[in-house]
Amino acid sequence: MLRLSLEALQIIDAIDRRGSFSKAGQELHRVPSTISYLVGKLEDDLAVQVFERNGPRVVLTAAGRELLKEGRYLLKAARDLEQRVRRIASGWETELAIGMDSMFSISALTDDMHAFYQIAQQTRLRIVQETLSGPWEALLDRRVDLLVGVAGEGPAGGGYVTRAIGEMPFVFAVAPGHPLAQVAGPLGRSQLQDHRAIVVADSARNMAPRTVGLMFGQDALTVPTMAAKFALQVAGFGFGFLPQPCAQRAIAAGLLVEKQVEELRAPETFYVAWRTGEEGAALKWWRERLLQPGTFARLGAHLPGIAAILPLHD
């Protein structure tokens, strides 16, 4: 049987903050004699003196300070639990996991998170970043509840709903000092085969990995994110397609050169997606929020930028 209750911790907390048994009683709507009795009983049960009594003024002993320090964590956890239970009863999830392609920055969702926390502070958010097929796998494996900014129409087999939110064109680019920068005309397979491609690794654990812009047997430098790919192409390590917004800024700054290729990469459509049949209040809020016009523009504004690669050129 536990000798320490949440009620006792609440009383100790109130006494410490208010400075006396009587003022703690006023806050908790208890008479001072009841407060004094409960504190004395706790000290007897624990065989520990919690307060030094100097007339009406009381202060915590060293043991009392340690008890209250840890006890306040328990009080907060108990209050949070009460809130989460009420949320569940009203249809709000205790946690919502959002997956997004690592191409985009989590900072693209900061306005959405601010708005969400205004109405759902007790629903914990977890943001997960995966690459290529990785987000889809995370959704089907129930590691995330909602996807935003993911490419492709998703794996076969269904079980999820998708809504297109935008389309991203890609630009083939190399650094000005790269050998391909000086080649005239559209670049074909025979010219690209002899040079290194920089590719982003698919983060899927079990699904067949997706590869973009890589020829069979070609030398490849594989990196975990689009930001790393962008930086290394600017540094001249290889070639590849880059999202048009970040590529154009680097091209305008003279850090990259756009090249025409015989085999173009079609623009990529990006989606919001969620599992079929799930209707929690937090999921519904985020789904409606992310399907509003402007979401994809915000994602595109948080692509890798020139500032991310400037240290390579200092």
Residue 216: is its pLDDT beyond 70?
no
The CATH class of 6-89 is mainly alpha
| Helix-, strand-, coil-residue percentages of the chain, each rounded to 5 | 45, 20, 35
Q: How far apart are CA 231 and CA 226, in angstroms?
A: 9
pLDDT in tens, 259-294: 999 988 899 999 999 999 888 899 999 999 999 999
Domain boundaries, the chain: 6-89, 94-314
- According to the model, what pLDDT value does residue 205 have? 82
- According to the model, what pLDDT value does residue 312 have? 44
94-314 CATH choice from 3.20.20.70, 3.40.190.290, 3.30.450.70, 3.30.200.20: 3.40.190.290
pLDDT in tens, 118-139: 988 778 899 999 999 999 999 9
Q: How far apart are CA 118 and CA 80, in angstroms?
A: 16
Band of residue 215 on the pLDDT scale cut at 50, 70, 90: low
Query: 9, exposed or middle or buried, with CB in 10 Å at 0-12, 13-18, 19+?
Result: buried
pTM (two decimals): 0.70
Q: How far apart are CA 243 and CA 170, in angstroms?
A: 5
Q: How far apart are CA 55 and CA 66, in angstroms?
A: 23
Of residues 197 and 18, which shows the higher confidence score?
A: 197
Residue 213: is its pLDDT beyond 60?
no
pLDDT in tens, 218-245: 789 999 999 999 999 999 999 999 999 8
pLDDT in tens, 160-208: 999 999 999 999 999 999 999 999 889 998 889 889 999 999 998 877 6
Average pLDDT of the chain? Answer: 87
